[in-house]
Amino acid sequence: MAEVLGSMAQEGLLNIVGGCCGTTPDHIRAIAQAVADAAPRTPAGGTPYLRTSGLEAFTLTPDVNFVNVGERTNITGSPKFARHVQEGDWDAAVAVARQQVEAGAQLIDVNVDEGMLDGPATMTHFLNLLAGEPDVARVPVMIDSSRWEVLEAGLRCLQGKGIVNSLSLKDGEEEFLRRAAVVRRYGAAVVVMAFDEQGQADTLDRRTAVCERAYRLLTTPGATLPDPFPAHDIVFDPNVLTVATGMEEHDRYALDFIEATRWIKENLPGALVSGGISNVSFSFRGNNTVREAMHSVFLLHAIRAGLDMGIVNAGMLGVYEDIDPVLREHVEDVVLARRPDATERLIELAERIKAQTEDAGPGGGGPSAAAAAKLAWRDADVTERLRHALVHGIDTYVVEDAEEAYQQLGSGLQVIEGPLMAGMDVVGDLFGAGKMFLPQVVKSARVMKKAVAHLTPYLEAAAAETGGRTKGRVVMATVKGDVHDIGKNIVGVVLGCNGYEVTDLGVMVPAEKILATADEIGADVVGVSGLITPSLDEMVSLATEMQRRGLTTPLLIGGATTSAAHTAVKIDPAYEGTVVHVVDASRAVGVVADAINHEEKLRERTALTYAELRERHAGKKVSLVPLEAARASTRAVTGPVPATPSLLGTQVLEPTLAELVAVVDWTPFFTAWELRGSYPRILDDPKVGEQARTTWADGQRWLERILDEGLLRARGVVGLWPARRDGDDILVDTGTGTGDGPAGPVRLHTLRQQRERSQGGYAALADFVAPEGDHVGASPSRSTGPRSWRPGCARSTTTTARSWSRCWPTASRRRSPSGPTGRSAPGCGATRRRRTCRSRTWSRSGTTGSARHPATRRSRTTPRSSPCGTFSTPSVPPGWC
């Protein structure tokens, strides 16, 4: 313990260190000695962003488009939550908070203002309950009350950094500053309502004047507030007020909020803006169709003006583009105050919508408005029909629409490059804005493919007449050393569906083969992909080779580890031809089209961006210390050396696929399809749940086929060998024990950190291996069939947090073979520290235990051989320890 804490202190990570239950005076003495010469942690220079936290930190950076503050734990806005709190059903009340987080809320708003409740006691009790609920406690809390004593009670028990909602000037400057000083002392951020001594600010001039006055008071040191707020910890709420009330003086409420938001962002540097979004639609309570449309329209324009966050029910938000055009126009007339009769027109439309909904109920005898809307798009012109079919993935009518477009334009190529490509551009824009998901993009591409298939005879006939080809040829590959190809395959599907001739070379493709193929087929574009970091260097090598050969073929770069910055700094300078980073599959078609048909314009456009990125990168200075100085200040362990494991050498494991299915972590499956969320909760996610369930069902059908037909076979090899540290190297004796390795030790070279550290302690991997008597382990794994390779790893058994069993095959990764109490199995010196894994157990030698996957709920008790004896394979996802 002292060694680990001493290392952390030397790294400058600690301010205070001590013991807890189980520690003795000897422990404390050892800890004190270990940290005696370490300086306290020096906080790094802050960035001008709002930083909040629950158990996890949340930073509001410019990349975050909008922060959704969950509103359903507000007793004044949620009858369900109010009922639970008033009846004392705290489990149900906590469940409401959990649902908000699962629905995507990045913060939760807690308000318990009710005349019959003890506000301070209720707030304290509920926040304490949330602190014990890990799924909820991880997000920051916005304490919401109009009573100061309730806010202060919440501040006293709030963990992490929260936000106080709210303070205002309605009680005068002196009281405003006194309360602000208390909030500042507790370390919270603050929401400032646009109220002052005259009351609520309800016009643009009043809103801006009150906010400017509050900003000046909170950012200027004074006797009452000696430590002023940083601007990014001030959130203004310029009052979202109800529109369409029938009162003329209310007509500009929404528009004035939007304009006030824009003014605050332009004139009060660093300040943020929030609002209670549902307030805008109270006039239409009971008509959710209209309310959802009002929320979506209002948010769209407010976010464009600079709105940073909002208290909103994600379940009552629709997609702006999906709102019925007539309804959207009427709502925008109200929100933007575009015409004097906007309220009357929206009320009339709302009554018609409500009547249609009621008539469409059971026995209503008429079609619902939703059903009518589903076919209303068929009345549009053919260009709009093709766009709608692509965006919504509807292939029912695409053949007849493609034929109609061909008859109008007289060219299959014009149909593809005209209405079809225009539709795919919309798909790309929606995907980039987070309004579509990757499986939907692929579905759209399949609709495109069906349309292109119908037009192909026309394209071929035109090509035969001209002797040329209608599109372009693309060579694609995952670079050498990388086997990941899901993203590349999706790009290939999308390009193929758009009429391009795609030659996919697969994975682990060396540069020579890529360029030879491109030369052989006369490729117009070369596209390479990679997921792991070494792929980035391979892409640089490819660009260098293309330059050496004097090529000019455009080079497209894609994959999870790639970025525009790396492309600009490392790849683009290595090749004089056009180099473009492609963000995602939805953008591939447009980039390829530009690379083939408008290369000069594409190069000019990217050149400016890349020059800026290179300049920004060049401004980052990295100071390095000499290697000898780094070696003189290491974090090398000295012992104690654990017991020798009972078995050394290698062991081969060949589990059946059925056994492995039970321990698959399905979250990366959804991540690969760019559906964000953890399994199984993602299946019920209000935003991506429907698409996740569809994608999951497709995956399960393929998995069933793989199992039934035996398409794959799994093998795993684990090894454990004696090892010792020799300077910056690890000497591994693979010839000891079973005699299955070469004579003499194998030297593994490791690199030592040299970037300057204020506290010293420059680490190399060798530091975590003892000078004598230690052991390291490794485990590659593969499957026959499609290539899959998990890079091996080497771990020391000296440091308790780095057990060699972390290098175990997939079925038991991240878990040590230990008994029900968490102690090491007999004869295994791999794990010395107790590891608690949510009561999941391992069996001791010769016995079996079981564990249940939180999603599948299936027990696994199949014993398997290991260097530590026989153990069972718990059905748990990676990361539970």
So which residues are the catalytic ones?
482, 484, 535
* CB contact at 8 A, 128 and 159: no
Contacts of 247 (CB under 8 A, 6+ apart): none
The neighbour count for residue 126, using CB atoms within 10 Å, is 23
Contacts of 465 (CB under 8 A, 6+ apart): none
Closest CA to 411 of 499, 523, 473: 499
- Report the C-alpha gap between 89 and 486 in whole angstroms: 47
Contacts of 717 (CB under 8 A, 6+ apart): 650, 651, 652, 653, 779, 780, 781, 809
Q: In terms of DSSP H, where are the helices of 223-341?
A: 253-267, 288-305, 325-335
**Radius of gyration in angstroms for the set of CA atoms belonging to the chain, rounded to a whole number:** 31
Q: Strand 163-167 relative to strand 501-504: parallel, antiparallel, unpaired?
A: unpaired
- Report the C-alpha gap between 452 and 493 in whole angstroms: 13
- Report the C-alpha gap between 569 and 581 in whole angstroms: 12
Contacts of 200 (CB under 8 A, 6+ apart): 194, 239
Q: Is 663 exposed, middle or buried (0-12, 13-18, 19+ CB in 10 A)?
A: buried
Q: Is 62 exposed, middle or buried (0-12, 13-18, 19+ CB in 10 A)?
A: exposed
* CB contact at 8 A, 163 and 140: yes
- Report the C-alpha gap between 90 and 153 in whole angstroms: 18
* CB contact at 8 A, 254 and 244: no
- Report the C-alpha gap between 334 and 337 in whole angstroms: 5
Residue type, 856: T
- Report the C-alpha gap between 95 and 188 in whole angstroms: 25
* CB contact at 8 A, 662 and 860: yes
Number of helical (H) and strand (E) elements in the chain, helices listed first: 29, 27
Rounding to the nearest 10 degrees, give the CA dihedral for residues 95, 118, 148, 254.
Answer: 50
With residue 131 as reference, give the H or E element that holds it. Answer: helix 119-131
